[in-house]
Amino acid sequence: MPTPPALTRRQVLRLSATLALAVAGGSTLAACGNDKSALTGNQTNVSDYDKIIAGGPVAEAAAVDGNAWAAKIKAAGTLKTGGSDAGPLFSMKDPSTGKITGFDAGLAQLLSRYITGKADGPIALSITTVDTRETLIQNGTVDTVFATYSITPARAKKVAFAGPYYRSGDAIMVKSDNTTITSVKDLDGKRIATQQGSTTADRIAKDAPGAKVSLFPDDAQCLAALKTGRVDAYVIDQGILISNASTDTTLKVVGEPFSDDYYGIGVTRDDPSAKEFVNAWLTAIEADGSWAKLWKATIGTVVAGDAPAPPKIGSVEGS
Amino acid sequence: MITVLQDNLGALWQGVLTTLAITALAFLSSVLLGTLVAVFRVSPIPPLRLVGAVYVEIFRNIPLLALLILVAYGLPEVGISLSLFTTAVLSLALVSAAFACETVRAGINGVPVGQAEAARALGLTFTQSLARVILPQALRTMVQPLVNIFIGVALGSSLAAAVSVGELTYQAQQVGNRTAEAMLLFGISALVYVVIALLGGGLGSVLERRLAVRR
């Protein structure tokens, strides 16, 4: 005998999203972010993506062998890299295939391809958090960190930054029915969510000093805070916000990006050849179009228009 | 390293105060609620005993982090939106009360049955014999297990950082991230937790000596 449904379909969906969050827990506990694509979606086109990696440039053998840092990675046959598996557009795991794709993940594979010459650009990913990035580079657990890693002078004292390889601009996301927030000035006096470890909080403090900023561990929790009304707005890189809004009509992105934030590739400071080599690789993929193609296949799936010009290498304090 | 500390002492101190506030409120609530549930569990009324048992089995077996996130983001879905500070205190208290309940119950069961029989023979009701005869004696054996629960609450409060409560771990993470000194800050916060736990243990020992029966 069928019983009448106690919950509407919508309620069930929302509840299961909440449970997925609960299961995922704080991503400070790393590696448990697989279920989050239920909330954020992952739109990277995988077959194009694999072609871009396979079509990436390969360094001349002499260049690799002549560089102590790169020669070690070539001998190991894989690039040990640090990053996320729960960062939409940049490094996100597809729970059905286990494959991690995104702009950061793709760049790590392109660097691996450049050094090892292998078509699939093998990487061994360690999940890093904002608490562990510097330490894992310093103690040699990872060769590189690709993790929407903002270049700051304080961090540059611990690790060397190759790049910058990407210019991020923070934008504002609110609920669709919100009409009071349209630009960064309107954030004054409002409750704002952003991700821990981003440099966004400092910028909001400057541009909207009356704003109350709460920092949450990852994208999924920031979204949950916004949707449940704990905060009035969510501020982070525009691409991430557009990606979120594209899968959820109850949210919208308002205004234009109001800041510049430059992402770098973290490598060891102990061996200057590391930064030198990664910068040479970055120059190569920017020149041959791989950088732009990867942008188009990842961030470009939600941000309209052609790939922007990459930022000038070494142009940021700390890089 | 020293300047990192000097520049951020305000934020860290704020974190320590918040941790102490969460710990104190959650511990006191959990002892009160735990005692109530324990009374349910030893009461002569079967439905109350069932309620007590179900409570313990639910809250003893949910990971604190899951409960925190459910209270923080799940309850607003059904119209109950608590502040994040309240969320932390409530979640910690609910979980710890389950453990406190079992501690209190073990304490009650540790009091010789003759005491309860004597109280009943004197004409005391269930509540009277519990409040005047059994619990005061049970408390003596419960002090050290309660210290364990206090320490569990103090250390468990660090999980509140995951839902953006500005306690010690959260502040240490923010400062660590801003200054790229995460390991230093985690080290410092670990030390502060050790001090809080030691103070709890010390208070427990004092209380234990005070309550000891002099024979």
Please list every residue in chain A whose beta carbon sits closer than 8 Å to the beta carbon of residue B77: 11, 14-15, 18, 228
Task: Please give the pLDDT value at position B153.
Answer: 97
Task: Compute CA distances B197 → A270, B153, B167, B188, whole Å.
Answer: 39, 10, 16, 14
- Binary contact (B70, A202; C-beta < 8 A): no
Please list every residue in chain B whose beta carbon sits closer than 8 Å to the beta carbon of residue A196: 173-174, 177
| Residue ranges in chain B modelled with pLDDT below 50 | none
- Binary contact (A158, B179; C-beta < 8 A): no
Secondary structure class of B177 (helix, strand, coil): helix
- Binary contact (A18, B182; C-beta < 8 A): no
- Binary contact (A15, B173; C-beta < 8 A): no
Q: Which of A138, A214, A231 to mutate to test the interface with B (most CBs of B within 10 A)?
A: A214
pLDDT in tens, B114-145: 999 999 999 999 999 999 999 999 998 999 99
User: How many other C-beta atoms are found inside a 10 Å radius of the C-beta of residue A238?
Assistant: 23
Structure tokens at A181: 């927030």
Evaluate the CA torsion angle A283, A284, A289, A290 in order and state its sign. Answer: negative
d(CA B184, CA B166): 19
Let me know how many helices (H) and strands (E) chain B has, helices first.
Answer: 9, 0
Structure tokens at A133: 């990035």
Contact B151, B194 (CB under 8 A): no
Of B65, B70, B177, the CB nearest to A26: B65
d(CA A184, CA A255): 8
> Which of 3.40.50.300, 1.10.3720.10, 1.25.40.10, 2.30.30.190 is the CATH number of B2-211?
1.10.3720.10
Dihedral angle over CA of A91, A95, A98, A104, nearest 10: 0
Q: Which of B3, B82, B177, B189 to mutate to test the interface with A (most CBs of A within 10 A)?
A: B177
- Binary contact (B162, A26; C-beta < 8 A): yes
Please list every residue in chain A whose beta carbon sits closer than 8 Å to the beta carbon of residue B72: 224, 228, 230
Please list every residue in chain B whose beta carbon sits closer than 8 Å to the beta carbon of residue A224: 72-73
Contact A151, A166 (CB under 8 A): no
ipTM of this complex: 0.71
Dihedral angle over CA of B94, A27, A169, A256, nearest 10: -40
- Binary contact (A215, B76; C-beta < 8 A): no
d(CA B38, CA B106): 9
Task: Please give the pLDDT value at position A296.
Answer: 92
Beta strand A170-175 with A100-101 is: unpaired
Please list every residue in chain B whose beta carbon sits closer than 8 Å to the beta carbon of residue A214: 84, 164
- Binary contact (B182, A202; C-beta < 8 A): no
Please list every residue in chain B whose beta carbon sits closer than 8 Å to the beta carbon of residue A157: 180
Task: Please give the pLDDT value at position A36.
Answer: 36
Please list every residue in chain A whose beta carbon sits closer than 8 Å to the beta carbon of residue B84: 214, 230
- Binary contact (B77, A15; C-beta < 8 A): yes
Contact A299, A239 (CB under 8 A): yes
For residue A221, give the chain B residue with the closest CA.
B163
Structure tokens at A142: 């990872």
Instruction: State the angle between helix axes of B135-156 and B2-42 in degrees (0 to 180), rounded to the nearest 10.
Output: 140
Task: Please give the pLDDT value at position A20.
Answer: 52
- Binary contact (B173, A135; C-beta < 8 A): no
d(CA A143, CA A159): 11
Beta strand A100-101 with A91-93 is: antiparallel
d(CA B177, CA A198): 9
**Domains of chain A and CATH, by start:** 30-167+262-301 (3.40.190.10), 170-254 (3.40.190.10)
List all residues 6 or more positions away from B124 whose beta carbon is below 8 Å from its beta carbon.
B132, B133
User: Angle at CA A224, nearest 5°, toward B24 and A102?
Assistant: 120
- Binary contact (B159, A14; C-beta < 8 A): no
- Binary contact (A131, B182; C-beta < 8 A): yes
- Binary contact (A225, B183; C-beta < 8 A): no
**Distance from the A272 Cα atom to the nearest Cα atom in chain B, whole angstroms:** 20
Per-residue pLDDT tens digits of chain A, which is 319 residues long = 444 445 555 555 555 555 555 444 443 333 333 333 333 444 556 688 999 999 999 999 999 999 999 999 999 999 999 999 988 889 999 888 989 999 999 999 999 999 999 999 999 999 998 889 999 999 999 999 999 899 999 999 999 999 899 998 899 999 999 999 998 889 999 999 999 877 788 888 888 999 999 999 888 899 999 999 999 999 998 888 988 888 888 999 998 888 888 999 999 999 999 999 999 999 999 999 999 999 999 988 888 888 999 999 999 988 8
Contact A108, A265 (CB under 8 A): no
Q: Which residue ranges make up each domain of chain B? A: 2-211
**Distance from the B164 Cα atom to the nearest Cα atom in chain A, whole angstroms:** 6
